[in-house]
Chains A and B, each alone.
Chain A
Amino acid sequence: MTMFAILTVFKKEMVDHLRDGRSILISMIYPLMGPLLLGLMFLFVGGGMRVNEGAPLVVPILHIESAPDLVGFLESRGATMQPIAGDARGLVSGGRVAFALMLPAQPSATPESPLAVRLITNPARVDSMVATSRVVELLNTYQHETLEGRLRAAGLSAEMMSVLNIEQENIGRAAGPAVILLTMIPPFLIFTLFTGGVHVALDATSGERERGSFETLMMNPVQLYQVLTGKLGATMVFTLMALGVQAVAFWVMLHTVPQESLGLIAPPSMLRLLVVVSVCLPLVVLAAALQLLISAVTRSVKEAQTYLGLLPLVPGLAGMVLALAPVRAQPMLAAIPTFGQTLLMGQLVRSEAVSAVFIGITAVATLAAVALLLLLGFRLYEREEILFPQ
């Protein structure tokens, strides 16, 4: 009878909420927003980088006539000059050009005099980042080669002018921004965990109480925990549905955007995304338990909605911070529900190795938190006043 009663409540909640088309539609729109947003970011950010690296370098240049040698050098290295006139700063800040190379209005008095060049850049524009670095590299090369020629003409060795011979080697993934964008997947998943089934949790607890049907339900030969477990189960299924939709949408997005946008990173496979979702499973129960608990301590659906709307922000923001300021996955952090999973999911989507111990700690710690929340929630639902509309 115990399982039968739980299944009866679960079945009713599933049928009831599957017919709530509007709520389902809204709850499924959010999971699609994450992949859509990230896809656009891949296209624009990754695309911008790609164009800069592959396309001919166009150099917006002021007073082109002042330094024919430099211009000749740049053109010999494949750059195309785009003469500009007027306020170079205004052109860059207004977005008319990605950057600008300002030469002095008059040529140098003597060929040996230093040429004052100014590079106007705007780091806020992704498309200017690579182009600017390419121009700086060309200017440095021009300076080095010109200096070398002059020293050689004077009978000196160019090496005398070098104190350091700096070489930079990037051992990280060459994908750059793509890695950062992939790290944004876990916060989106966490948001979905706390929003996917919230309409079911709300309606099945606060809503039922507000309509007065919770009292009618408890006039039947069922235990409170059976009713709540059935409702919890339905909430979890709807959360999993939203999570599944989002995982598939992420997979579709990652396999639809041009591969150059992802840099050298291989998009996570469906299997890997399924592993990501399974890492979230304890969090699905945690989210449902928290929603149940919040519904128990609030007096109306409206009040519960307010709190439940804020709930995803806490773990979601932690994930966003991790995306921008990565933290090393330490066992102690695994014990913090949602934080541990965010770290794990980040490693998984970036195709990094994950520790089984870390997975175990996150699952056990989260399930322990779930047990405590459910215990507290069930106790709160035993209060008499919770059955009746406030």
Chain B
Amino acid sequence: MIEVRGLAKSFSDLRVVEDVSFVARDGEITGLIGPNGAGKTTMFRLICTVLRPNCGTTLIDGIDSQKDPLAARRRLGVLPDLRALYTRLTAREHLRYFGELHGIERHELDTRIAELVATLRMEDFIDRRAKGFSRGQQMKVALGRALVHRPHNIMLDEPTNGLDVATSRAVRDLLRRLRAEGRCILLTSHIMQEVGALADRIIVLADGHIVLQGAPAELRRATGLNDLEEIFMAVTQEAAAQPALAAGE
């Protein structure tokens, strides 16, 4: 479970995230949506400890990520927006490298890599160097890299960005399977349909604030709108003029 309490972050005079609190529960997919520049990526970076907040705390399965960032990172698997692969390493070497950084032993790592190859259907390119990989192949390697240590909490930044229909569907199926296993999944996406289809809870971020959060049904009730895209447009356009609006919690 990822629990964010009063998180705030500024860069010089620019407030990027301000007093953000939410909970991403186990066995649920939590969708974090917002317009460009809303602070989604900064939120991601704060949660996975590569940025330090000005105030507030993040608990990963009860572990304060500021006090024990390494323990928090062990329980997190992150798919960043930039897939950033090493072009001279093979897909297998990527998985092995990140598995070893998590301290997984060789034989155990071999087993996990074999599982991931089957799950993500990487058989065709697992021993090929990453140079020239298609976006789908890059995403699969990056996803495998995020899952190789079997994290309980998974964060995905735009997981289907630039993927074809078949690969996007495969990713969505995988996320549902991970949810069914009881994992906590936090994802950002610009594709409202995707968030609507996957997310159990949705958090709308605008100008560094949470302007709306709750289950899809709760959002519909709170706004009187049915379509998630309409809800998104309505709350983000009003965000500048209205105080934060919370549905549900």
**CB <8 Å contact, B85 and A16:** no
Q: Which of A124-132, A210-218, A263-271 contacts B (4 or more CB under 8 A)?
A: A210-218
Q: Which residues of B contact A219 (CB under 8 A)?
A: 48-50, 73, 76, 78, 80
Name the residue among A5, A12, A17, A217 with the largest chain B CB count within 10 angstroms.
A12
Size of chain B's interface in residues, with CB distance under 8 A? 28
**CB <8 Å contact, A8 and B86:** no
For the complex, is A171 an interface residue (Cβ under 8 Å from B)?
Answer: no
**CB <8 Å contact, B73 and A8:** no
For the complex, is A169 an interface residue (Cβ under 8 Å from B)?
Answer: no
How far apart sit A216 and B144, CA to CA, in the bound complex (Å)?
Answer: 13
Q: Which residues of A contact B70 (CB under 8 A)?
A: 221-223
How far does the Cβ of B33 sit from chain A's closest Cβ, in whole Å?
A: 22
Interface string of B126-138 (1 = CB under 8 A from A): 0001000000000
Name the residue among B48, B50, B51 with the largest chain A CB count within 10 angstroms.
B50
Q: Which residues of A contact B101 (CB under 8 A)?
A: 5, 8-9, 217, 220-222
Q: Which residues of B contact A389 (CB under 8 A)?
A: 82
Residues of chain B from 58 to 101 with CB closer than 8 A to chain A in the complex: 70-71, 73-74, 76, 78, 80, 82, 84-86, 88-89, 93, 97-98, 100-101
Q: Which residues of A contact B100 (CB under 8 A)?
A: 4, 8
How far apart sit A213 and B84, CA to CA, in the bound complex (Å)?
Answer: 5
**CB <8 Å contact, B73 and A215:** no
For the complex, is A15 an interface residue (Cβ under 8 Å from B)?
Answer: yes
**CB <8 Å contact, B50 and A215:** yes
For the complex, is A352 an interface residue (Cβ under 8 Å from B)?
Answer: no
**CB <8 Å contact, A384 and B50:** yes
Q: Which residues of A contact B85 (CB under 8 A)?
A: 213
How far apart sit A324 and B171, CA to CA, in the bound complex (Å)?
Answer: 68
For the complex, is A19 an interface residue (Cβ under 8 Å from B)?
Answer: yes
Interface string of B89-119 (1 = CB under 8 A from A): 1000100011011110000000000000000
Name the residue among A217, A219, A387 with the largest chain B CB count within 10 angstroms.
A219
A1-B103 contact given A216-B84, A219-B76, A221-B74, CB 8 Å threshold: yes
How far apart sit A4 and B100, CA to CA, in the bound complex (Å)?
Answer: 8
Residues of chain B from 19 to 72 with CB closer than 8 A to chain A in the complex: 45, 48-52, 70-71
For the complex, is A75 an interface residue (Cβ under 8 Å from B)?
Answer: no
A387-B80 contact given A8-B100, A220-B101, A221-B102, CB 8 Å threshold: no
**CB <8 Å contact, B73 and A221:** yes
A19-B80 contact given A5-B101, A220-B73, A384-B51, CB 8 Å threshold: no
A384-B52 contact given A219-B80, A220-B101, A222-B101, CB 8 Å threshold: yes
How far apart sit A70 and B217, CA to CA, in the bound complex (Å)?
Answer: 119
**CB <8 Å contact, B103 and A221:** yes
How far apart sit A384 and B55, CA to CA, in the bound complex (Å)?
Answer: 16
Q: Which residues does A use to contact B, with CB under 8 Å?
A: 1, 4-5, 8-9, 12, 15-17, 19-20, 211-213, 215-223, 384, 387, 389
* 7 shortest interchain CB distances as A-B pairs: A212-B82, A213-B84, A212-B84, A220-B101, A19-B88, A221-B70, A8-B100
- 4 further contact pairs, Cβ within 8 A, besides A19-B129, A222-B70: A17-B88, A212-B82, A219-B73, A220-B101
